[in-house]
């Protein structure tokens, strides 16, 4: 019997000073590590050279979700709410802090609109019903990842968003796409999918065995036009782990060519997964013991990825959302 994979198997040492809390001056100024799986080779490059790795019969698939303000405070800013989704008109599914102040029937007011906690879900999330709609653009803030250790600034409104963001609904940005400029995008064959990145992106794996981890679910959409472009390509290059999850979810359902679809996926990709819809992946550097690091280990092999991350630390690459990227081919 194969040994159960443990969460601690996907740990690595990361100096805190390598965590990128602010974006680079230029979007496409990031460094890029290239990991060649067939050769077991790791090399350092620049993201500006990304196009040199793309052939005309390849397809780059990008996530066009748009980050929406998801962080709110009550009138005296003593209660913080992360809006996960609007389950019905004026009813929000939320994370709240501090939870002890938000019990059943507890009142809250945001932007002059009154609300009441109707239900507390088993995992601590609250269902809050408001008396009217709330202007989220006016009263909300971007919910930056906790490791940035700061509130959102005006620069984040522009930079914590891809240049091709189109479909509102994400809490977190599909960060592999943050490196692209319109000019670079014009020079490569590409198409889009939509997956609204949820709060699960920030959630740690608390289970000792990774098979015991409950994966979050996220909404996605793939159009007929994009499905046709993907199926016609020689090589499918996912820009980000969110795209990989959609491609693998749909490939597992069809076991051949993918079809247009809308729905939700909670696919959990870790070593042992057989990739059917992803040939290469552009992604940022991920947190230790995270589901995203497990995904890249599944694609490239745990030993090779750990070697790559060790090299990235030695070469002082920038990590996480505003950090540098790696291309797994």
Chain mean pLDDT for the chain: 96
d(CA 118, CA 88): 13
Selected residue with higher pLDDT from 156 and 1:
156
pLDDT tens per residue, range 271-298: 999 999 999 999 999 999 999 999 999 9
Q: What is the pLDDT of residue 102?
A: 96
Q: What is the pLDDT of residue 201?
A: 73
Of the candidates 258, 259, 223, 218, the one whose C-alpha atom is nearest the C-alpha of residue 242 is 218
Of the candidates 26, 45, 39, 47, the one whose C-alpha atom is nearest the C-alpha of residue 312 is 45
Of the candidates 307, 20, 321, the one whose C-alpha atom is nearest the C-alpha of residue 143 is 321
Percent of the chain's residues with pLDDT above 70: 99
pLDDT tens per residue, range 116-152: 999 999 989 999 999 999 999 999 999 999 999 999 9
Q: What is the pLDDT of residue 199?
A: 85
**Residue 109, helix vs strand vs coil:** strand
Contact in structure between 35 and 302 (CB atoms under 8 Å): no
Task: Give me the residues paired with residue 92 across strands.
Answer: 86, 128
Contacts of 11 (CB under 8 A, 6+ apart): 288, 289
Question: What average pLDDT score do residues 81-87 get?
Answer: 95
Residue 212 to residues 7, 205, 221, Cα–Cα distance (Å): 10, 9, 28
Half-sphere exposure of 294 (CA within 13 A, CB side): 24
Contact in structure between 28 and 165 (CB atoms under 8 Å): no
Contacts of 198 (CB under 8 A, 6+ apart): 84, 170, 171, 172, 216, 217, 218
pLDDT tens per residue, range 226-245: 999 999 999 999 999 999 99
Of the candidates 203, 201, 206, the one whose C-alpha atom is nearest the C-alpha of residue 218 is 201
Identify the DSSP state of 328: E
Give the distance between the most distant pair of CA atoms in the chain. 60
Name the pLDDT band for 2 (thresholds 50, 70, 90): low
Q: What is the pLDDT of residue 3?
A: 78
d(CA 29, CA 3): 42
The answer on pLDDT for 185 being more than 70 is yes
Contacts of 3 (CB under 8 A, 6+ apart): none
Query: By mean pLDDT, which of 85-89, 198-202, 310-314 is the weakest?
Result: 198-202
Q: Where are the domains of the chain?
A: 7-67+144-328, 71-139
Instruction: Report the CATH number of the 7-67+144-328 domain.
Output: 3.40.1780.10
pTM attached to this predicted model: 0.95
Identify the DSSP state of 188: S
Q: What is the pLDDT of residue 310?
A: 98
d(CA 190, CA 140): 32
pLDDT tens per residue, range 4-24: 899 999 999 999 999 999 999
pLDDT tens per residue, range 36-79: 999 999 999 999 999 999 999 999 999 999 999 999 999 999 99
Q: Which CATH architecture group holds 71-139?
A: Beta Barrel (2.40)
């Amino acid at each position: 019997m194969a040994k159960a994979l443990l969460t601690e198997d996907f740990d690595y040492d990361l100096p805190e000073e390598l965590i990128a809390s602010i974006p680079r001056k230029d979007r496409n100024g990031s460094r890029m590590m290239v990991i060649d799986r067939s050769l077991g080779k790791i090399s350092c490059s620049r993201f500006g050279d990304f196009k040199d790795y793309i052939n005309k019969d390849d397809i780059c698939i990008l996530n066009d979700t748009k980050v929406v303000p998801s962080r709110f405070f009550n009138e005296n800013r003593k209660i913080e709410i992360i809006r996960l989704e609007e389950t019905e008109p004026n009813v929000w599914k939320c994370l709240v802090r501090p939870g002890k102040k938000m019990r059943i029937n507890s009142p809250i007011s945001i932007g002059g609109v009154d609300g009441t906690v109707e239900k507390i879900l088993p995992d601590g999330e609250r269902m809050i019903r408001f008396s009217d709609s709330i202007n989220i653009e006016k009263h909300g803030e971007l919910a930056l990842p906790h490791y940035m250790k700061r509130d959102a600034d005006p620069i984040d409104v522009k930079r914590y968003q891809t240049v091709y963001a189109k479909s509102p609904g994400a809490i977190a940005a599909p960060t592999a796409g943050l490196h692209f400029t319109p000019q670079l995008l014009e020079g490569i064959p590409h198409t889009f999918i939509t997956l609204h990145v949820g709060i699960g992106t920030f959630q740690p794996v608390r289970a000792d065995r990774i098979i015991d981890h409950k994966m979050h679910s996220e909404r996605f959409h793939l159009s007929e036009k994009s499905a046709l472009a993907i199926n016609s390509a020689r090589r499918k290059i996912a820009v980000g782990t969110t795209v990989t999850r959609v491609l693998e979810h749909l490939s597992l359902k069809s076991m051949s060519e993918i079809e247009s679809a809308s729905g939700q996926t909670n696919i959990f990709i870790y070593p042992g997964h057989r990739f059917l819809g992803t040939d290469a992946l552009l992604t940022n550097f991920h947190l230790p013991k995270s589901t995203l690091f497990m995904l890249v280990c599944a694609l490239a092999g745990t030993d090779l990825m750990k070697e790559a991350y060790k090299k990235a630390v030695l070469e002082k690459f920038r990590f996480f959302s505003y950090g540098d990227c790696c291309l797994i081919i």
